[in-house]
Amino acid sequence: MIVLETDRLILRFLTTDDAEFVLRLVNDPSFIENIGDRGIRSLEQATNYLLDGPISSYRHHGHGPYMVVLKSVQAPIGLCGLLKRVKFDDADLGYALLPEYWRQGYALEAASAVLDYAYDSLKLPRTLGLVSPDNTPSISLLEKLGFEFSELRQMKVGGPPTAVYVHTPDRGRAPAR
């Protein structure tokens, strides 16, 4: 099911048919470095991740990460959407694209559409952005979108700190490309 559409992208619900793509994405070295190792090494594990993560989130929260599909070739290029974490009252914007699709404005385009959806359709009061303090490209994207740094927070005992950014509807919105 299509959730959002931009000039160049389609954002749709993930299904178990997307397990092969998810397996590739979550094992990309850049995903592991910037987001974390999910320990998904097989199609069965990727299918379970989809069922227990995104697909469950759609049912329980009305949103989740969406497959980002490049319209021109009808190919999946990444994920972008809203994640609801137990540690936070607000949903956070999450995104990950395969490296060959970086620096082409796709992440900004997808994230802008997701923020519009968060405020206009889901009526969320604010959205968070969680990022490694060393992930300069993601921090730059969050700032282009109008997010402001809020705090450093320990997500896991003994783990590295995570930078928490906050965005509200009145912060303005980055134009989609």
User: Mind listing the pLDDT tens digit for each residue in 161-172?
Assistant: 999 999 998 865
Does 73 fall in a domain?
yes
What is the value of pTM for the model shown? Answer: 0.93
pLDDT of res. 177: 41
Contact 111, 128 (CB under 8 A): no
Number of domains in the chain: 1
Does 134 fall in a domain?
no
Does 158 fall in a domain?
no
* % of the chain with per-residue pLDDT over 70: 96
Does 44 fall in a domain?
yes
Q: Which residues contact 117 (CB under 8 A, 6 or more apart)?
A: 3, 4, 63
Does 55 fall in a domain?
yes
User: Mind listing the pLDDT tens digit for each residue in 45-69?
Assistant: 999 999 999 999 999 999 999 999 9
pLDDT of res. 94: 96
User: Mind listing the pLDDT tens digit for each residue in 84-104?
Assistant: 999 999 999 999 999 999 999
Does 23 fall in a domain?
yes
Does 133 fall in a domain?
no
Contact 117, 79 (CB under 8 A): no
pLDDT of res. 173: 52
User: Mind listing the pLDDT tens digit for each residue in 120-156?
Assistant: 999 999 999 999 999 999 999 999 999 999 999 988 8
Burial level of 68, CB count in 10 A (0-12/13-18/19+)? buried
Amino acid at position 153, single letter: R
pLDDT of res. 160: 87
What CATH number does the domain containing 40 carry?
3.40.630.30
pLDDT of res. 158: 86
Does 144 fall in a domain?
no
Residue span of the structural domain in which 91 resides: 2-125
